[in-house]
């Protein structure tokens, strides 16, 4: 399998984007936990169409507009449970949050910890918004990029939401 890589300079620091010919494999903040997990070969530094699509979406997001990733081809090995959790993440409106327990309830799952594990394995930072998941009392909990980045992303989305009103 061939991997393609681009770097993206975000307001929160540099990001690494990796794709295959089938779809986006991941978006990671440099030095984050699980950085480039699941990429088994050295990627080629090239402007691949899927990476260009992802950078365009990131540009739109950081410019203060919501993005819809449903048309983005995704190529991430995952269990059906992980895919179901990630689908719910994509359905959380920009500027809003859900708790791990609320996601578990939507899935008919008894374990918010299982949901947390699936959220933590999401390799597509920002565009599949795992930063919109909070603890049971609304507290900011773990984020592979760091809780400060999660706080920034939620504040950014709060401003985006106010701009829509």
Find, among 22, 50, 51, 17, the residue nearest to 35 by Cα: 17
- Percentage helix, strand, coil for the chain under 3-state DSSP, each rounded to 5: 40, 15, 45
> Are the CB atoms for 26 and 40 separated by under 8 Å?
no
Residue 132 is classified by DSSP as G
> Are the CB atoms for 19 and 4 separated by under 8 Å?
yes
Distance, CA of 150 to CA of 72 (rounded, Å): 23
Q: Active-site residue among 50, 69, 88, 130?
A: 130
List all residues 6 or more positions away from 73 whose beta carbon is below 8 Å from its beta carbon.
22, 23, 24, 50
Is 94 a residue of the active site?
no
Q: Which residues are catalytic?
A: 130
């Amino acid at each position: 399998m061939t991997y393609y890589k681009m770097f993206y300079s975000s307001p929160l620091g540099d990001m690494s984007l990796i794709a295959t010919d089938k779809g986006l494999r991941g978006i990671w903040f440099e030095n984050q936990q699980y950085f480039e997990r699941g990429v088994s070969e050295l990627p080629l530094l090239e402007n691949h169409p899927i990476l260009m699509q992802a950078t365009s979406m990131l540009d739109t997001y950081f410019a203060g507009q919501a993005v819809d990733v449903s048309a983005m081809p995704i190529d991430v090995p995952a269990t059906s449970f992980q895919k179901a959790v990630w689908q719910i993440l994509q359905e959380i409106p920009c500027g809003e949050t859900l708790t791990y327990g609320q996601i578990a309830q939507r899935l008919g799952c008894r374990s918010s910890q299982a949901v947390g594990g699936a959220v933590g394995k999401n390799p597509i930072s920002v565009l599949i918004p795992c930063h919109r998941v909070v603890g049971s009392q609304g507290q900011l909990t773990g984020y592979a990029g760091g809780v400060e980045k999660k706080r920034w992303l939620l504040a950014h989305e709060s401003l985006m939401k106010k701009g829509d009103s």
